[in-house]
């Protein structure tokens, strides 16, 4: 009987220990399940935080892409920041969501990049405002330049008009025409076949506005058939921006006072025809007189 009592006590103790062990195992298992759920929730939260951080970097990249500037230096700096953000986005994709220290570093970098972007926005707005001001100033300057140009053009027109008036006022004029045909003995003749010289005499009127000094007077004599009498096709002078032939010429000294002038044309045998001849007189680039004469 004495041996049965201790055996019963041992069995009871074993039951108690087993029960406690089961309870402890159950508690540990329950705590394991709770910790696992908490860890899973933390991982999911950190994964969401990583995804949100990636989205914020991508949004920042789009914001940088929207920045435009006409300044080459500023554009280069913007491009460098865009490349930096692109590299950071790729780096974030490769790290684990549970790497809290790295996530914190990227958050700080994001804050820094946003601050830099705000500075870029301020600079671009300032440049755009300055460009607008310069554009307005440029328009004002252009208007002033156009106004000055218009005034200059008007002055040029007035100058040109005045120059034309001066030219007209300084143009020599002739009168008192006498045209004669002379034979080989320098006697006057009206018969075309006997004329060896044509003498054209006229008077240049007084003109105090005309330039004084040496001048060349040119004659152009047209036959009745409108053929020009010429000694050489190389005998030319300038008239109305063209080189034209002349029949005869003479150099005179003009002093502004009335001056009598005679010019001779030596005709070849058989060159002259009966009929009405036209004589035009030129000097200083102007036609200063016209007259006609008859040969029989």
Span 65-88, average pLDDT: 78
Of 100, 122, 144, the one marking the end of a domain is 122
Backbone angles phi, psi at 284, to 5 degrees: 55, 30
Same domain, 181 and 281: yes
Can you give the residue range of the structural domain that contains 33?
Answer: 4-122
Q: How many separate domains does the chain show?
A: 2
Let me know whether 96 and 192 are in one domain: no
* Helix axes of 100-170 and 4-65: crossing angle, nearest 10 degrees: 0
- Alpha-carbon distances, residue 128 vs 118, 121, 138 (angstroms): 15, 10, 15
Between 229 and 98, name the one with better pLDDT. 229
What are the φ/ψ torsions at residue 279 (nearest 5 degrees)? -115, 125
Average pLDDT on 144-151 reads 77
Buried b / exposed e over 218-248, threshold 16 CB at 10 Å, is bbbbbbeeeeebbeeeeeebebeeeeebbbb
Do 36 and 99 belong to one domain?
yes
Residue 162 lies in a domain: no
Based on the domain organization, do 101 and 195 belong to the same domain?
no
CB pairs under 8 A, 24+ apart, for 110-116?
110/53, 110/56, 110/57, 110/60, 113/60, 113/81, 113/84, 113/85, 114/60, 116/81
Indicate whether 132 belongs to any domain. Answer: no
- Mean pLDDT, the chain, integer: 79
In a domain, 152, yes or no: no
166: pLDDT strictly greater than 60: no
Query: How would residue 161 be classed by pLDDT, with cut points 50, 70 and 90?
Result: low
Residue 171 phi/psi, 5-degree rounding, is -65, 130
For range 218-231, the mean pLDDT: 92
Looking at residue 1, what is its pLDDT? Answer: 45
Locate 164 and state its tokens: 């034309």
Is residue 201 pLDDT above 80, yes or no? Answer: yes
The pLDDT of residue 56 is 80
Instruction: Tell me the two tokens of residue 155.
Output: 């002055």
């Amino acid at each position: 009987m004495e041996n049965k009592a201790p055996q019963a006590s041992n069995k009871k103790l074993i039951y108690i220990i087993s029960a406690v062990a089961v309870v402890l195992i159950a508690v540990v298992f329950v705590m394991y399940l709770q910790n696992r759920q908490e860890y899973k929730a933390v991982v999911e939260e950190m994964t969401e935080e990583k995804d949100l951080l990636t989205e914020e970097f991508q949004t920042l990249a789009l914001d940088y892409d929207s920045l435009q500037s006409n300044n080459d230096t500023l554009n280069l700096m913007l491009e460098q920041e865009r490349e930096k953000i692109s590299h950071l986005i790729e780096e974030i994709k490769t790290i684990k969501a549970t790497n809290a220290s790295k996530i914190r570093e990227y958050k700080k970098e994001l804050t820094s990049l946003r601050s830099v972007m705000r500075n870029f926005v301020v600079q671009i707005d300032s440049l755009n405002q300055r460009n607008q001001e310069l554009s307005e100033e440029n328009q004002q300057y252009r208007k002033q330049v156009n106004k000055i140009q218009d005034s200059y053009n008007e002055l040029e027109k007035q100058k040109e008009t005045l120059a034309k008036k001066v030219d007209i006022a300084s143009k020599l004029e002739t009168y008192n025409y006498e045209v004669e045909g002379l034979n080989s003995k320098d006697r006057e003749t009206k018969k075309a076949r006997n004329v060896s010289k044509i003498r054209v005499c006229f008077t240049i009127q007084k003109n105090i506005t005309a330039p004084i000094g040496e001048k060349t007077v040119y004659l152009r004599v047209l036959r009745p058939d409108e053929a020009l009498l010429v000694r050489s096709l190389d005998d030319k002078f300038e008239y109305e921006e063209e080189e034209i032939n002349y029949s005869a010429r003479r150099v005179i000294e003009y002093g502004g006072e009335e001056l009598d002038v005679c010019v001779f044309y030596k005709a070849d045998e058989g060159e002259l025809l009966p009929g009405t001849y036209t004589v035009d007189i030129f000097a200083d680039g102007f036609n200063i007189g016209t007259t006609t004469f008859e040969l029989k």
